[in-house]
Structure 1
Amino acid sequence: MARIISDRLLQRLQAFVLHPLTAVAAILLCATFLYALERAVEHMPFVMLSVLGIAAVLFLVSCRLYFSIYAALAATALISVISVMKYRTKGFDLHVYDFVFTGTDTKAFAFLIDGFAIYIAPVAVLLISCAIALCLVFAWDGKRELSAIKRSALVAATFLLIPVSYPLKADEPRYFHYLGGFNASAFFVSFLDLRDAAIGRGFADRFAGMPDVKPFAAAGPCDMAGPRPDIFIVLSESQTDLGQFNQHGLAEQFGGRFRSADGKRRELRVETFGGGTWISNFSLMTGLSSLDFGWRAPYLTTALEGKVQQSLATELSRCGYRTAVLMPMDHGFVNEGPFLESIGFDEVLDYDRIGASEYAHPDRFYFEAARTFIEDHRRTDGRPLFLQVQTMFAHSPYGNHLADSEQDAFAQSGNSELDEYVRRVAQSQRDFDWYLAQAKAESANHPSIVLEFGDHQSFATRELVNHLYPDFAVDKLTSSAYRTYFTIHPMGAEVDMKPFEFASLDIGYLGVSLLESVGLATSPMFADLAALRDRCDGRLHFCADRAAVDRHLQKRIASGHLTVD
């Protein structure tokens, strides 16, 4: 009897699933869901034609109509949900290249599983559930008696209609679309980037038709008046100047923070929001704007490995420095370790070398690892040291209470993620104070300069920044979403602050400004970059004299300092 009831229920379920009205209802529900994620009605014809394209291809292969419809709807919905999660954590929509770079990067995949399991587990359950449901539909749905020619014609007609519904203007860069949170369409738009890569459209095309330029002269000897101080750069993960927010007691708590030794606040413009630390670090180390490479920006540590011949590391090596980076991630994460080595770093102290056991150690852990390296270097190596320390504690997600529960001037905001983020930043800044104190204690015998900067803002402060700054917009790269800070702390060394004196300094100029501040005679390429900074009032990609930026890039290419496709 139970089996008979079970069989009847399955028959009714099968009849319900394979009914035309059910399929229509599923399409309408999915379209509504996708619209809620896209938030742009003018994009929906492209989104739904993309769904139809998937369904047409599946129908061509399987001859099963209902299976093809439900599978296309499920695939699009899942892609959009994953895009939302990526956008919330990285500020960049899902891109087809994520499957090429991140999808084949075991270190990046391990980091995602470790740090974002709260998101991955529900998606995995959803994937398994969809797979089981679609297997049932496949088994129930009979093959249609429609010739392969007619099914192929349906595919062709659909793919001819998709370009007509393309959601961007002909001259609108796709990069901005991926920053806009258009989570239902971004992945499908990104397939055009594969097309452009296949037919050879790339960075070098922007220089087509421009007059030839002379290469830079060869670099001469590195002259510097006085002793060469150790140079330490601290990448303060996900931090921004919280002292500027006059809410929840933040101005009171952080009013004295995020200031250089001269007491001044200094604004830094970065090119990523919510994630993508390696994008900021790329610009710092190379003096290049990631935005000039368009949609390739998140993948430059892979795409440009071995193609950048002059960098902050090579400049300091030329001046006798030993160069090293201490990073909280594995050497191969987003290919950053190999990329940094390719641009001249002597050593990369990664997750394993510093003895890390998790990705979210308090920053004191990274600073203590740095001190161990510094002390060993001074015992065994007579060269001045250039060391970057990348931190991690203030990185998302903020669902776990990792920060000390120390009471301070901060009032609870009512937003648990914001509260946890603020506590982590406060703890990280106390750890940075400890690191500064170590450098100060040794300044008589080992003068040094410590440059600290925030690599990007955090999603945890998005509503706060949006409330205080009406121009806030993730898809507008000149907005306050891309504003962080940097600080300069000389320890027994002379520093000229003039190279930093701009209302706002783009991160691509931070390295050359550091070189100038300590009196290092820069190479012709870096000297030209400094002149460009002055001409452009601290702006790089958005310089008012864009032709001057392009001439600088052309000279890099002509000199063999930059190889592009």
Structure 2
Amino acid sequence: LVVLLVLLSRLKHDVVQMTANFVDLMVIDRDTAAFLFTIFPNLRWSVIAAALVILPLMYTLWWLDPFRIPRLPALAGKLACLAALVAYSLTFPDEAWRGYYDDGYLSKFARSGVIAVSDFVRDGFMESAPATNEHLKVPLVDACYPAGRRPNIIMIHDESSFDIRAAGGIKVPRNYGSHFLSFDGKARQFMAESNGGPSWFTEYNVLAGLSSRSFGRFAYFVTRIASGRVERGLPLALRRCGYDTLSLYPAFGGFMSARAFQTTTGVAHFYDAHDLGARDVEPDSFFYDRALDLMSQEQPSKPLFAFVYLAANHFPWETKFRPELLPAWRAPGNASAIDEYLRRQDLSAEQYQAFMAGLKKKFPNQPFLIVRYGDHQPEFAPHILDPGLDEAGVGKKLENYDPRYYATYYAIDAINFEPVKSDAVMDRIDAAYLPLVILEAAGIPLDPSFEEQKAIMLRCGGVFYACRGGAEARRFNRLLIDAGLIHGL
């Protein structure tokens, strides 16, 4: 069992850069198994072969074992071991940030069991306030009557992108920074809930309009847990207003249950890497071209919401990604990984402008609202923001949600459309408010849940989970649960 744990933990770290913990046993779904068997075709045969060898061997060892312990002493020994494990876990609590280190497989797994089970017994998978007398009205399908023409809405997930000038001493190319500006020339901050890798935290934020931090120790599994349970979000709100909804995803749909989660939040047409014909990591232009093709197949009389999920700026940055796409680019003179990061940002900005030109050419008379956001900072960002800190110091700042480690950007652009002015379009927002910002900027009437969330946003100045120590988010979760929009959590 120890050898099996080590092997599975190393496999998980190779795939998602995090070692196994006890929650993996609490959240088992078919999507994850299907995803692993897809990306590792030989894994299926390895599992079958291992089962054919290990199960008979375990039975044989049990049958031939000459040492038998009576049940009562065995139970006493079990309880003593459990008590020791609980005491050890409470004395030396497992620090969440250490899960990203490829070591300590057994210790981290054992300690996470104590914390995860206690958290689950106390709060379930998701924090929510006790019963309340307040109620939300369930939104009706035919109760949305926008004033004026509804724009097509495109939301762009800009992988690992933030304004690197937040760190001192970084040399940037000329004209760096224009990509982070909105149509009105403003630079706006987007406060993500992850740093360095887990894009699905932000995916949950911008589709469900809720906080992954409400899941506490289970946040890493947020999209898997929310699938089939959190039936509230931006795509659903837009579908009630007559929109068709589609999503372009750069990995296999089983990864972190992306297909099931996005479908739950209202995405009607989900296209993953296999559906799109993607080979390995593709440049942004690949997904923009596919988006243009898919949008041209839609009914021109029906407005469209498209979620375009980019991946070209994903780590590692030690190797040059598609050098032929930007042959004239010159490195400013930073560390090689940072210069490669900047090159990919320049490539992303150039291909975004080409996408905007393609929209104008293919759909000359249609209105568009385009909203981009950086899903999280790159994994090296803490080390350039605070170069004097060691790993433990960085881990503490991440655990305490230092805003410098979570700030990226969001930008609003438009074609043949004037974004609606709203007090919700703030200069700095928590990630969970982005759906609300999009609905307001598009002039779409808010359903009761987004009306309530807007009141929270204005009351808390753009802060969501951290407002009043989490009380506002817990109360809002309870309202959604009582309205039947969240269930089973």
- TM-score, with normalisation over the residues of structure 1? 0.72
Counterpart in the other structure of 1:352:
274
The 3 A distance-change label for structure 1 pair 224 and 391 is same
Give the superposition deviation at 1:218. Answer: 4.3
Counterpart in the other structure of 2:454:
530
Counterpart in the other structure of 1:263:
185
Q: Distance in 2 between matches of 1:152 and 1:328?
A: 50
Give the superposition deviation at 1:347. Answer: 0.6
Counterpart in the other structure of 1:459:
379
- Alignment check: 8 A CA contact 1:326 1:390 kept: yes
Q: Secondary structure at the match of 1:159?
A: helix
Please list, as runs of the form range in 1=range in 2, the aligned pairs for 1:133-532 lying within 5 A after superposition: 148=69, 156-167=79-90, 176=96, 184=104, 185-192=107-114, 195-196=117-118, 201-203=123-125, 206-208=128-130, 210-216=131-137, 218-219=139-140, 221-250=143-172, 252=174, 254-356=176-278, 358-377=279-298, 380-404=299-323, 406-408=327-329, 410-415=331-336, 417-441=337-361, 444-467=364-387, 473-499=397-423, 501-532=425-456
Q: Distance in 1 between matches of 2:296 and 2:417?
A: 19
The 3 A distance-change label for structure 1 pair 458 and 145 is same
- Alignment check: 8 A CA contact 1:469 1:480 kept: no
Question: Which amino acid in 1 is paired with 2:302?
Answer: R
Please list, as runs of the form range in 1=range in 2, the aligned pairs for 1:127-138 lying within 5 A after superposition: none
Is 2:21 aligned against 1:95? yes
Give the superposition deviation at 1:241. Answer: 1.8
Give the superposition deviation at 1:191. Answer: 1.4
Write out per-residue CA displacement over residues 236-267 of structure 1, whole angstroms, 9 at most, x where no aligned residue: 11212234445342264523221112221111
Question: Which amino acid in 2 is paired with 1:96?
Answer: F
Give the superposition deviation at 1:454. Answer: 0.9
The 3 A distance-change label for structure 1 pair 263 and 317 is same
Q: Secondary structure at the match of 2:149?
A: coil
The 3 A distance-change label for structure 1 pair 340 and 175 is farther
Write out per-residue CA displacement over residues 63-90 of structure 1, whole angstroms, 9 at most, x where no aligned residue: xxxxxxxxx6x7887788778767xx65
- Alignment check: 8 A CA contact 1:84 1:183 kept: no
Give the superposition deviation at 1:478. Answer: 3.6
Question: Which amino acid in 1 is paired with 2:347?
Answer: Q
Q: Secondary structure at the match of 2:370?
A: strand
Q: Secondary structure at the match of 1:432?
A: helix
- Alignment length (residue pairs): 462
The 3 A distance-change label for structure 1 pair 151 and 420 is farther
Q: Secondary structure at the match of 2:267?
A: coil
Question: Which amino acid in 2 is paired with 1:281?
Answer: E
Q: Distance in 2 between matches of 1:111 and 1:430?
A: 33
Give the superposition deviation at 1:321. Answer: 0.9
Counterpart in the other structure of 1:66:
none
Q: CA RMSD in A?
A: 3.7
Give the superposition deviation at 1:372. Answer: 0.4
The 3 A distance-change label for structure 1 pair 182 and 375 is closer
Q: Distance in 1 between matches of 2:275 and 2:423?
A: 35
Is 2:474 aligned against 1:550? yes
Give the superposition deviation at 1:381. Answer: 4.5
Identity %: 22
Question: Which amino acid in 2 is paired with 1:278?
Answer: W
Give the superposition deviation at 1:560. Answer: 1.0
Q: Secondary structure at the match of 1:105?
A: helix
Please say which of residues 94-103 and 405-414 is displaced more in the overlay. Answer: 94-103
Q: Pick the aligned partner of 2:32 from 85, 105, 110.
A: 105
- TM-score, with normalisation over the residues of structure 2? 0.82
- Alignment check: 8 A CA contact 2:204 2:223 kept: yes
Q: Distance in 2 between matches of 1:551 and 1:201?
A: 13
- Alignment check: 8 A CA contact 1:499 1:517 kept: no
Question: Can you give the 5+ residue segments of structure 2 that lack an aligned partner in the other structure?
Answer: 51-56
Q: Distance in 2 between matches of 1:198 and 1:534?
A: 32
Write out per-residue CA displacement over residues 456-503 of structure 1, whole angstroms, 9 at most, x where no aligned residue: 111133422233999963222243221111111011111135445435
Write out per-residue CA displacement over residues 413-470 of structure 1, whole angstroms, 9 at most, x where no aligned residue: 234x333333222212211121122234466501101101111111133422233999
Higher relative contact order (CA 8 A, sep 6+): 2
The 3 A distance-change label for structure 1 pair 106 and 422 is farther
Q: Distance in 2 between matches of 1:240 and 1:107?
A: 33
Q: Distance in 1 between matches of 2:389 and 2:366?
A: 42
Q: Distance in 1 between matches of 2:33 and 2:75?
A: 38
- Alignment check: 8 A CA contact 1:243 1:257 kept: no
Q: Secondary structure at the match of 1:190?
A: helix
Q: Secondary structure at the match of 1:222?
A: coil
